[in-house]
Amino acid sequence: MTSISNMPRKGEPISVSGLDSYVWDCYDRSVPMSTYLVAFIVSDFDAKTSEDGNFRVWARHDAINQSQYSLNIGPKILKFYEDYFKIKFPLPKMDMVALPDFSAGAMENWGLITYRETAMLYQEGISTSGSKQRVAVVVSHELAHQWFGNLVTPSWWTDLWLNEGFASYMEYIGMDAVSLLINRITYRIAYQSAEQNDLWSALTKQAYKDKVLDSSVSVKEIMDTWTLQTGFPLITVTRNYDNGSITLTQERFLLRNSGTTVTSEAEPLWWVPITYTSEKQLNFNNTQPTKWMKAERSIILNDLNVSPSEWILFNIQETGYYRVTYDRANWQMIIKQLNKENFKDISTINRAQLIDDALNLARAGKLDYTIAFDLYILKLLDNVYKQVGFIDKVGDPQLTVFTRIDVLNWACNFNHEDCIMNAVQQFKNWHIDIRLPRDIVPDLYELWLIPFIWKGNFTFHGEIKILVNVTNDTNNVTLHAVDIKIDESFTSIREYSSNDKSNNKTTVIRIMEQKNDTDRQFHVIRTSKLKKGKQYIVHLKFTGYLNDDLHGFYRSSYTVGNQTRWIATTQFEPTDARRAFPCFDEPALKAKFQINIARPQNMTSISNMPKKEKTTPLPDINTYVWDHYERSVPMSTYLVAFIVFDFDVRKSKDGDFRVWARHDAIAQTEYSLSIGPKMLKFYEDYFKIKYPLPKMDIAALPDFEAGAMENWGLMTFRETGILYQKEEDGITDNDSKQLIALTLAHELSHQWFGNLVTPNWWTDLWLNEGFASYMEYIGTNAVKPEWRVLEQYVVHELQSSFNLDALESSHPISIKVDYPDEINEIFDAITYKKLTILCVFRAYQSAESNDLWYALTKQAHKDKVLNSNITVKKIMDTWTLQTGFPVVTVSRNYSNGSIILTQERFLLDNVTRITSDKWELWWIPITYTTEKQLNFNNTQPTKWMKAERSITLNDLDVKPSQWILFNVQETGYYRVNYDTENWKLIIKQLNNIKNFKNISVINRAQLIDDALNLARAGKLDYDIAFNITSYLANETEYLPWKAAFRALSYLNNMLIKSRGYDKFRVNYRRSRIIDICEKQISMIV
């Protein structure tokens, strides 16, 4: 291997006494530098070197050619900076290294810069133009740090922006005006630390000398308004078209349209450099400020020589860090100019500024959207679309490529006909089918694995026989294999006959060719004809590597004293069984498994099924023995599991339920062992289906990426997800205890939902996770009813899901996925939490959502709870195939008693939306109760909104003076908003100290959660939302407070750096918390 560090290596390596395979590398003494810039690497990487030998790039052997671009530009950038700063690079060499695992994008270690691979490697013809520019920009940024940050370093992290601000600017090669000044500053404090005041002092001195700053003002006075305040200003330009004067007003710009802004002395004010040009002047070259706003709310400009019929434009070339809005007349004149043939009279940067400012001003409620869209509409896109075209051309300038990317994105989003047509054709040309062909399906796997788990050898050797059924005549056996090496010389296929046990008469199939399809992760065996209806045995031998990526068949470790103990374990969901053995790695392709694991004699192995009593020796490895396992029921490959370790075990009374952990942690498994068998028995009774396997093992692993994994009969957990230390020891709290119970209940429910009945494909992953996420509360409630977890479900699952599902970036729970990376991405909170519906089983089979809808429809029609012309599929498709969820707005007519319910998608971003028939509509179950009824037990829908925008309800028997409340016990997945009067009636009820509990605890939590999030989205006045929470001074239940804390955390985060935060903290948070604490104390006393 090789080592590198900040400085060059000196002399020859020196032998290490007592370690024959190691040598010492010694390095030259460095210049003075901070500890965070020290770096050293030991690797087997390859290197490429510049002509003078002083600049090297390092990467994996397979990736070293992709470092050529960085090597081409790196020395040139370094030389440019030397000339630009007039300071020679202080070190004698530069190394740049591309690392496979690196949390940051890059790190500027002095003389040894480290990069994430994607930030340094570029492959011509494969990587995009955007990737090429990104590599150049990142390399420029890190090399600039060799001066800014390394040669001159901030005294403390408070001034981190001095590092990153300069480097971020220098990556685009700017700062022409101050390069000499920076040179002087750098020389003065080279190899020292600095703070922002050093910079302000130097800039002030130079500005006085150049007479560009009044002697009564310092740069510090100006810059403190930018570095010590939060945010940036919006400058509002208001023209007086009679006398020619212009008023400029500043305020902080915020994207959230939180209502009317009341300016006060407490609001931030900035020193703002004012630049402008006009229709007559058209001077976009002079960016020298003509005026300053000196931290003042407003100023008046006179004698600007702009006629009333001319537009004026501020912030030339967007050199100032502020947005600009204008009065309507000036906006209209700018729009008129942009729609002329000579629209380029306005510079390209300012055209970009106008678009960016206008659309963001509209988003913030500071500008009418009609003005914003007049600037950026499809006809303008059409023009530029025709110019740039759809396909990249050789020699296209970089900015043309970037323009094309953005224009195509937006043109297709706006349904530009030619763009859509080209995009569809490109997708057809690119898309490959990664699903296995169904001509052959597995019936039985016989697997032998020998893992080697000691330092220096983390390989595994394997052999597998797969009994397959041929469903159609074929000449190919196609299965999955990745990161394993198949011995092609060993591969054989022969016909199987159950009557020929000795295999003497079976036909050997001729193998024509074997090849790997890397893109699909396939291993393809081309054969002579395999006949429909026949069975064949595919026999393969392979080797692999126990990786440390926590996927596939991987290695883990823990320490006892100074000794490292090794573990070989598995994590196959969703698509990593193929990394352990060749297989048909799709959930629908279930088969039986006969597993055999070799292990060191001083260790133990476990797998999905019970171990047969007799072990057998390994002829060539006398320290190993074979463990043989009973044949499994049919199951998907992602549920297969096996572990080799030296863990201790504790067992249930009948011996069928075992928990495994490190020796030092085994006592902490007692709690899981006490509740696990009870949950398993509860589920058997609840589902009226016996647990299908003869035993259950649970293993607590030190290194485990997921929280837990439901492998059939061998569930694996992160240690924190299953180990509990008794409270009297003062270590694990009640939250941990409940989390362990919920996690265990979740994974045990998967033994039915997911394992016994499995989705055909990952598109229906929600069938697995939605059911299990609901059943974890049912199972936990069965063993710990005093925890009231069914009530907690609303705030922990339903309401937390709302927050994610209310974003534009949400996705439907039923998503079409193909590639392994796409499959991994859908294991998120929306998939886990959004739907909770009970299942009708199809044992040992795979299923899809339509199987469930059909079964539910059949039962609902039988029970006469669903109209015979409606199907569950029709209802549920609106929930599973659409993104997001609705808010139902309740508008009461207090004169005639009617109520109008209107639905729309709820979004947290306050964006004005124009209703359209194409917009999302849901089938919504309507439940309600009133001040008179107070019936919170009946959650059966009294009415449905049948994917319609609005409905009218009559004769609900509720007086104008009484409140009505919808979504009883929050059993529906939607928010509810009311007219102001009904909100006031609810608030009055909540503030009735004696009777606020007339509203159920779940609905009190719902009202708080809905109100605060409706206010956040701009759908409800914050006065009403805060009045809803005012009753909390009398609330002692957990659920309403949990809902309040979650919703208020957003306000806390938004206000914490504002000048008004103390009022929020003292007048709102403190008073509520103190009240609740006093009540709880009085109850204890």
Q: How do residues 723-780 score in pLDDT, each as one tens digit? A: 998 766 555 567 789 999 999 999 999 999 889 888 888 777 777 777 888 889 999 9
The per-residue DSSP string of 665-696 comes to: GGGGGHHHHHHHHHHHHHHHHHHT---SSS-E
Least confident of 449-458, 470-479, 871-880, 995-1004: 871-880
Q: Please tell me the predicted confidence (pLDDT) of residue 801.
A: 65
Whether residue 311 contacts residue 330, with contact meaning beta carbons closer than 8 Å, is answered with yes
Dump pLDDT digits (tens) for 554-603: 999 999 998 999 999 999 998 999 999 999 999 999 999 999 999 999 99
Query: What region, left, alpha or beta, does residue 788 occupy, with left being phi > 0 and alpha being psi -120 to 50 degrees?
Result: left
Q: Are 821 and 891 within one domain?
A: no
Q: What is the pLDDT of residue 187?
A: 41
Look at residue 739 and tell me if it is in a domain.
Answer: no
Amino acid at the residue 166: F
39 and 171 in a single domain? The answer is yes
Q: Is 716 part of any domain?
A: no
Q: Identify which of 111, 142, 117 has the alpha carbon closest to the alpha carbon of residue 5.
A: 111
Are residues 978 and 1027 in contact, defined by beta-carbon separation less than 8 angstroms? no
**pLDDT(812) > 60:** no
Record the pTM.
0.59
DSSP string of 510-537, one letter each residue = PEEEEEEETTTTEEEEEEEEEPTT-EEE
CATH number, domain of 775, equals 1.10.390.10
Q: Angle CA(435)–CA(574)–CA(823) in degrees, nearest 5?
A: 65
The rounded Cα 5 to chain-centroid distance in angstroms is 34
Q: Are residues 906 and 1049 located together in one domain of the fold?
A: yes
Close Cβ partners of 495 (under 8 Å, ≥ 6 residues apart)? 506, 507, 508, 509, 534, 535, 536
Q: What is the pLDDT of residue 837?
A: 33
Judgement on whether residues 535 and 449 belong to the same structural domain of the protein: yes
- Asked whether residue 426 falls in the same domain as residue 473, the answer is no
Report d(CA 246, CA 805) in Å as an integer: 45
Q: Is residue 719 part of a domain?
A: no
CATH number, domain containing residue 350 = 2.60.40.1910
* Separation in Å, CA 21 to CA 1, 2, 10, 459: 10, 13, 20, 21
User: Which pLDDT band holds residue 66 (cuts at 50, 70, 90)?
Assistant: very high
Pairing of the two strands 233-239 and 714-718: unpaired
Q: 451 or 703: which carries more pLDDT confidence? A: 451
The count of structural domains within the chain is: 6
Given 171, 279, 747, 776, the catalytic residue: 747
Helix (H, G, I), strand (E, B) or coil at 245: coil
Query: Which of 90-104, 355-369, 901-915 is predicted with the least confidence, judged by mean pLDDT?
Result: 901-915
Q: Note whether residue 490 is domain-resident.
A: yes
Q: If we measure between CA atoms, which residue out of 654, 545, 635 comes closest to residue 584?
A: 635
- What are the backbone angles phi and psi of residue 325, rounded to the nearest 5°? -125, 160
Say yes or no to pLDDT of 829 above 50.
no
Averaging pLDDT over each range in 625-629, 786-790, 920-924, which range is the top one?
Answer: 625-629
Going by their DSSP bridges, the two strands 459-470 and 508-509 should be labelled as: unpaired
Is 61 among the annotated ligand-binding positions? no
Q: Which residue, of 646, 668, 684, is where some domain finishes?
A: 646
Residue 845 makes CB contacts below 8 A (sequence gap 6+) with 590, 757, 758
Q: Which residue has the tokens 């900035």?
A: 270
Beta bridge pairs of residue 299: 248
Any domain includes 813: yes
| 189 and 42 together in one domain | yes
Encode pLDDT of 89-131 as tens digits. Answer: 999 999 999 999 888 889 999 999 999 998 999 987 677 767 8
769 is in an annotated binding site: yes
| Distance in angstroms (rounded) separating the CA atoms of residues 880 and 874 | 11
- 683 within a domain of the structure (yes/no): no
The domain of 112 spans 2-194
- 747 included as an active-site residue: yes
Residue 11 vs residue 55, higher pLDDT = 55
Q: Which amino acid is at 766?
A: W
Collapsed DSSP state (helix, strand, coil) of residue 509: strand
Predicted pLDDT at 377: 55
Q: Is 746 a known ligand-binding residue? A: yes
Residue with the bigger pLDDT between 847 and 154: it is 154
Separation CA 905–CA 917 (nearest Å): 13
- What phi, psi does 832 have (nearest 5°)? -75, -35
Cα–Cα–Cα angle for 347, 282, 273, rounded to 5 degrees: 80
List all residues 6 or more positions away from 600 whose beta carbon is below 8 Å from its beta carbon.
453, 623, 624, 644
Q: What is the pLDDT of residues 994-1043, one digit of tens each?
A: 999 999 999 999 999 999 999 988 899 989 999 999 999 899 998 999 88
pLDDT on residue 266: 63
Token pair 């698509």 in the structure block, residue: 575
Q: In the predicted model, is pLDDT for residue 929 greater than 70?
A: yes
Domain boundary among 832, 857, 878: 878
pLDDT of residue 78: 93
More confident residue, 388 or 953: 953
Q: What is the pLDDT of residue 404?
A: 84
Which of 171, 194, 217 terminates a domain? The answer is: 194
Same domain, yes or no, for 180 and 237?
Answer: no
- 578-590: pLDDT as tens digits: 999 999 999 999 9
Residue 322 has pLDDT above 50, yes or no: yes
Q: For residue 590, is it within any domain?
A: yes
Q: Say if residue 128 is in the same domain as residue 240.
A: no
The answer to whether residues 1058 and 1071 belong to one domain is: yes
Q: What is the largest CA-CA distance in the chain?
A: 108
Higher confidence at residue 257 or residue 763? 763
Predicted confidence band at 839 (pLDDT cuts at 50, 70, 90)?
very low
- Return the closest-CA partner of residue 417 out of 470, 462, 381, 457: 381
Domain co-membership, 592 together with 447: yes
Q: Is the pLDDT of residue 1079 over 80?
A: no
Whether 726 is covered by a domain: the verdict is: no
- Half-sphere exposure of residue 575, counting CA atoms within 13 Å on the CB side? 24
- 504 and 638 co-located in one domain: yes
* Lowest mean per-residue pLDDT among 499-508, 833-842, 933-942: 833-842
Residue 830's pLDDT band (cuts 50, 70, 90): very low
Q: Are residues 441 and 422 in the same domain?
A: no
